[in-house]
Amino acid sequence: MDPRTGEYDVSYDYWDEYVFPLEYFEAISKRIGNMSAVGHMREHMTPLLDQENSIILNKIVYNAIHDGEIPVSELDQLEAELNHVEEHYDRENSLVRYFIECFRELIAAARKENNPIVF
């Protein structure tokens, strides 16, 4: 602590012994795919969803390079969209199946932790 200002100077060396890996603070982590996979999923899910109001199309697979979050208040809508996709998608499409599985796990963790899905 600087005695003149009362400000703490926490250098990296000090925290080195206390540093926790990022994974320590994550309830769950999923990778949905590269740019090609995201494009493929979007192509196959677009005909199944309301393009104007879809969380999946407008917040998740709208491009491959983005960040954002899905607040807890939107989890019910996201789950409803997943249910609809699951009922109507081509069962041979393993990427869409993987996407559905990942987001079911992310939704469960977000509800348990009462935190948004962040990406």
Q: Which pLDDT does position 89 carry in this prediction?
A: 92
pLDDT, mean of each 10-residue run, the chain (119 residues)? 64 58 77 89 95 94 78 97 96 94 96 90
CA angle 19, 22, 28 (to 5 degrees): 145
Q: pLDDT value at position 118?
A: 87
Residue 47: per-residue pLDDT: 96
Question: Is the separation of the CB atoms in 37 and 61 below 8 Å?
Answer: no
Per-residue pLDDT at 68: 80
DSSP state of 58: I
* C-beta of residue 59 within 8 angstroms of C-beta of residue 70: yes
pTM over 0.85: no
pLDDT at position 63 is 74
Q: How far apart are the first and last CA of the chain?
A: 36
Instruction: With beta carbons less than 8 A apart as the criterion, state whether 96 and 90 touch.
Output: yes
